[in-house]
Amino acid sequence: MGQFITKPCNVKDVVPGMTVGKPVLGNNGRVLLSEGIILSQRIIEQITNWGLQQIDIQEINQSVVDHVQELEECARQTRENYENSLDKLKIYFEQTRRYKKLAVASMWELAHTLIGQLTNTRGIISFLLMLERKDDYTLHHSLNVSILAGVLGKWLGVTGQDLEDLILSGLMHDTGKALVDINILNKPDKLSKKELEVMRYHPILGYELLRDNQELSEAIRLGVLQHHERMDGSGYPLKLSGGQIHYFAKIIAIIDIYDAMTSDRVYKSKVDPFSVIETLNSEMFGKIDAEFCAVFLQNISNYLTGKFMRLHDGRVAEVVYFDSVSHSRPVVRTEDNEFIDLNRNKDIRIDEVIDV
């Protein structure tokens, strides 16, 4: 028997601290609340406002010791799957650079096995936030975008073959970079206008690598070609706007920006997911799909509620509440029982997520 059982629970009997057992879906099939979310008073109020009578709640089906052991085993397995995926991806990128040909069948297999499992792993968002990136940026980034595009796809109600294609498109979105001059790709200084033009050609190079492969759906190719297009037409390479952009590319664009910002923070110091969310919310207004972005931020903030963070003064604090509009900086409760509204105390930074 598994470590958890799910039981239907009347919404009137739901209390903060309970865990959602099965995803709660809206009328359009979008995920309103993911499995594994720890319910806060605010989320319970939301559920009541949605008019739901009953939701599935998760209960631990074993002793605490067994439960902790299984969580540790799950964390070990996640790390192993991630590192195996990274090793394989490294070989595929090197092959692409050497032979100017993409190992499509191998990438397809990777997307459908190890990465598919990672998108279904409990705590995958915290895992990626806490991850130390040891390898090449493009490798980590491609893998993370693939995983998180799958996660956001599921939150948006994408299923079956479409979801598998989305994960593969995310994995291959930057493969065109394998054909870009390595000196430009790894240049630490600011790129010249000419070099920037070369870099901005990578979506077309990626599309061309896939063009002759008839087994892949056009959606996969369009996710690769259009992931730098922006809703207001300010993107590249074709300056498409709004409805001209395929929804795979809209999903990958959001995840691409989110992962680039979280990794930026890794180089500077530790990751504060809330400042990333805040930036995504404000700076990208009008540029990324607003509805998709709202679903992403809603689910990420629900996911982070109940998690423990370390403040820059060293104190540990639990996230207890999110503003439903900004989804950015939460109210936290510190270990010495002080409630702090981080929206009103912008000088207090969160240094890291310390809880999976």
Kindly state the smallest distance separating residue 331's Cβ from Fe ion, in Å. 36
- Residue by residue, DSSP assigns 6-18 as EEEEEGGG--TT-
Closer Cβ to Fe ion, 88 or 228, answer by number? 228
Question: How far is residue 356's CA from residue 350's CA, in Å, rounded to a whole number?
Answer: 16
Three-state secondary structure call for residue 153: helix
Closer Cβ to Fe ion, 174 or 289, answer by number? 174
By CB under 5 A, residue 278 contacts Fe ion: no
| Residue 6-35 contact track with Fe ion, rule CB under 5 A, x = bound | ------------------------------
Scanning residues 294 to 353, which ones bind Fe ion (CB under 5 A)? Answer: none
Kindly state the smallest distance separating residue 249's Cβ from Fe ion, in Å. 11
- Measured CA distances, 179 to 88, 220, 226, 346 (Å): 18, 19, 18, 43
Question: How far is residue 348's CA from residue 356's CA, in Å, rounded to a whole number?
Answer: 22
Closer Cβ to Fe ion, 164 or 174, answer by number? 174
Closer Cβ to Fe ion, 174 or 272, answer by number? 174
Kindly state the smallest distance separating residue 200's Cβ from Fe ion, in Å. 9
Give the residue closest to Fe ion by C-beta: 174
Kindly state the smallest distance separating residue 351's Cβ from Fe ion, in Å. 29
Scanning residues 133 to 192, which ones bind Fe ion (CB under 5 A)? Answer: 174
- Pull the structure tokens for residue 257: 């920006």
Kindly state the smallest distance separating residue 176's Cβ from Fe ion, in Å. 8
Residue 337's Cβ-side half-sphere holds a number of Cα atoms within 13 Å equal to 0
Question: How far is residue 47's CA from residue 88's CA, in Å, rounded to a whole number?
Answer: 42
Closer Cβ to Fe ion, 174 or 229, answer by number? 174
Closer Cβ to Fe ion, 37 or 225, answer by number? 225
If binding means CB under 5 A, how many residues of this protein chain bind Fe ion? 1
| Residue 89-118 contact track with Fe ion, rule CB under 5 A, x = bound | ------------------------------
- Count the neighbouring beta carbons within 10 Å of the beta carbon of residue 181: 11
* Contact indicator for 53, 10 with CB cutoff of 8 Å: yes
Listed as own residue / partner, the contacts of 216-220 with beta carbons closer than 8 Å and 24 or more positions apart are 216/104, 216/165, 216/168, 217/165, 219/162, 219/165, 219/166, 219/169, 219/246, 219/248, 220/165, 220/168, 220/169, 220/172, 220/248
Task: Note the residues at the interface with Fe ion (CB under 5 A).
Answer: 174
